[in-house]
């Protein structure tokens, strides 16, 4: 009725598929992972609601590109999460951003570049593990309809 069926035989490595068949191509691909965090901040030299201490539920989206390994993977999504948790989120989630980020006005425009730089540094430190891995973009939503974005071509060439 719904087209659901249990597979007849589970595919087995080196029996039904060989190790050298796992890598389908040698092209650059992009993977993306999204996270949220809650934080408080206020803006300096700004006349508007954001000059007062307030909070947001931020959403950050990473676009990472590179080449796949012999298994057909660029980077495990769990590895992206580990980098996020251990090297970036610790400065952001449930923090007063004016205190935990480098000295800057904590605008989405400033923060997205800092987040981009942190992920780029983490990938650079793991180049042997991830072939050609680089950050293509980081998008930081301050509200559900407002975001700032940093793109690789802007970060590397301007």
**Which residue matches tokens 């068949």?**
21
Query: pLDDT at position 1, please?
Result: 62
Contact criterion met (CB below 8 Å) for 58 and 37: yes
User: What end-to-end distance do the CA atoms of the chain give, in Å?
Assistant: 57
pTM of the predicted protein model: 0.94
Contacts of 117 (CB under 8 A, 6+ apart): 155
Query: pLDDT at position 2, please?
Result: 77
Q: Which residues of the chain have pLDDT under 70?
A: 1, 158
Closest CA to 60 of 124, 142, 154, 133: 142
């Amino acid at each position: 009725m719904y087209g659901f069926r249990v597979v007849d035989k589970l595919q087995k490595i080196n029996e039904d598929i060989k190790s050298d068949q796992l890598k389908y191509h040698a092209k650059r691909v992009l993977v993306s992972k999204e996270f949220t965090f809650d934080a408080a901040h206020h803006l300096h030299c700004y006349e508007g609601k954001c000059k007062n201490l307030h909070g947001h539920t931020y959403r950050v989206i990473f676009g990472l590109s590179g080449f796949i390994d012999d298994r057909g993977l660029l980077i495990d999504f769990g590895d992206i999460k580990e980098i996020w948790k251990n090297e970036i989120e610790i400065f952001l989630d449930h923090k007063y951003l004016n205190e935990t980020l480098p000295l800057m006005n904590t605008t989405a425009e400033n923060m997205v570049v800092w987040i981009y730089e942190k992920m780029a540094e983490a990938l650079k430190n793991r180049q042997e593990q991830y072939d050609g891995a680089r950050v293509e973009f980081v998008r930081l939503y301050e509200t559900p309809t407002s975001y700032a974005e940093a793109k690789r071509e802007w970060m590397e060439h301007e």
